[in-house]
Amino acid sequence: MNGFFNIYKSSGTNSTFIVNKIKRITKTPCGHMGTLDPMASGILPVAVGKSTRLFDYLTDKIKVYIAEFTFGYETDTLDATGETLSTSLVIPTKEQIEKVLSKFVGLINQVPPKYSANSINGKRGYELARKGIDFTPNVKQVNVYSFSLLEQIADNKFIFKIECGKGTYIRSLCRDLAYELNTLGTMSALERIQSGVFTKETAISVEELEQNPEKYLIPADSVLSYEKVYLTDKQTKNMLNGVFDITGYNQDEFYRVYSPTEFLGIGWVVNGVLKIKSYVR
């Protein structure tokens, strides 16, 4: 079995637990594309079989989140699951928030939360934080495409929509936005509603998947947008035997490569010759 499942993860569920459950259901190796913290809900794309080899071609896709920020306090994890470190009496207005949001759009430098999977000298940040080891996470450059205030639901609670690239920590956006407003903030809820081509509207629960995995399997090639290349039987045989003799395609570009009967994988043109970079057959 090869392909993807567009899973909707509920809040309070571990991403790794979901992947392991799908492994048992499909009896096939699996992996997820971009973890979601246990408190978060939303889209968790899961690759099945050799489709995990396509992750590198999908990681730069846009992700969209709906986030609830609560102003007036900050926790050690920067979300509602942590211990409160500091409080503030300053609560911003909608107008004050909207005035500064543009400062967090575009390529920005961001310090990841200490409680995160961010690597520090080969160790995960959360591993060091749980041991009480003091450290400063490395600054990362991330891309935020849009950051908008949707509504205010309480005196100190606001709902935001964020479109961003890989590696962006919404918890850090909350912290930094609060600092810009001379207060403190904590991410109190988070939902990922899109991850590249995977959207909330087409997502399924693990329980639905369990009833009929084949029904919900998304073909591996359909999540990619590269131009298609169809090989003849002879070209396919040559390529699978390591003989690369196909020319006429654009240098340094990716292609979806097919035999007469199936999707073979991602092609890459090097020195004018098309080669398979990642097989999924």
**CATH number of the domain encompassing residue 76:** 3.30.2350.10
pLDDT at 245: 87
Residue 118 vs residue 82, higher pLDDT: 82
Extended strands (E) in the chain: 3-9, 30-32, 41-48, 63-71, 73-75, 84-87, 106-110, 119-120, 123-124, 140-154, 157-164, 185-195, 198-199, 227-230, 254-258, 263-270, 273-279
Determine the Cα–Cα distance for residues 197 and 45; give it in Å rounded to an integer.
10
The 10s digit of each residue's pLDDT in 67-102 is 999 999 999 999 999 999 999 999 999 999 999 999
Q: Is the pLDDT of residue 47 over 90?
A: yes
Residues 70 and 12 in one domain: no
- pLDDT, the chain, mean: 92
Determine the Cα–Cα distance for residues 8 and 41; give it in Å rounded to an integer.
7
Residues 83 and 155 in one domain: yes
Residues 94 and 74 in one domain: yes
pLDDT at 56: 83
Residue 166 vs residue 91, higher pLDDT: 91
Once rounded to an integer, what is the mean pLDDT over residues 33-61? 89
Q: Is the pLDDT of residue 53 over 80?
A: yes
| 32 and 244 Cβ atoms separated by less than 8 Å | no
pLDDT at 61: 85
* Tokens 């594309």 sit on residue: 33
Q: Is the pLDDT of residue 169 over 90?
A: yes
Residues 17 and 46 in one domain: yes
Residues 69 and 151 in one domain: yes
Residues 32 and 46 in one domain: yes
Banded pLDDT at 57 (limits 50, 70, 90) = confident
Q: Could you tell me which residues come within 8 angstroms of residue 101 by beta carbon, excluding any fewer than 6 positions away?
A: 147, 148, 149, 177
Q: Is the pLDDT of residue 134 over 80?
A: no
Q: Is the pLDDT of residue 33 over 90?
A: no
Residues 81 and 133 in one domain: yes
Residues 37 and 27 in one domain: yes
Give the number of other CB atoms < 10 A from CB of residue 248.
Answer: 9
Number of structural domains found in the chain: 3
Task: State what percent of residues in the chain have pLDDT above 90.
Answer: 75
* Catalytic (active-site) positions: 37
Banded pLDDT at 129 (limits 50, 70, 90) = confident
Q: What is the largest CA-CA distance in the chain?
A: 73
The 10s digit of each residue's pLDDT in 206-256 is 999 999 999 999 999 999 989 999 999 999 999 888 888 899 999 889 999
Residues 73 and 165 in one domain: yes
Q: Is the pLDDT of residue 135 over 80?
A: no
* Residue 237 domain boundaries: 226-279
Residues 24 and 94 in one domain: no
Q: Is the pLDDT of residue 115 over 90?
A: no
242 secondary structure, DSSP code: T
Once rounded to an integer, what is the mean pLDDT over residues 96-109? 98
Token pair belonging to 203 = 């997502």
Give me the CATH number covering residue 275: 2.30.130.10
Kindly write down the DSSP assignment for every residue of 139-171, as one continuous string: PEEEEEEEEEEEEEEETTEEEEEEEE-TT--HH
Residues 13 and 91 in one domain: no
Residues 111 and 182 in one domain: yes
Strand, coil or helix: 277 = strand
112 secondary structure, DSSP code: P
Closest CA to 158 of 229, 72, 221: 72
Torsion sign (Cα): 187, 55, 27, 3: positive
| 277 and 51 Cβ atoms separated by less than 8 Å | no
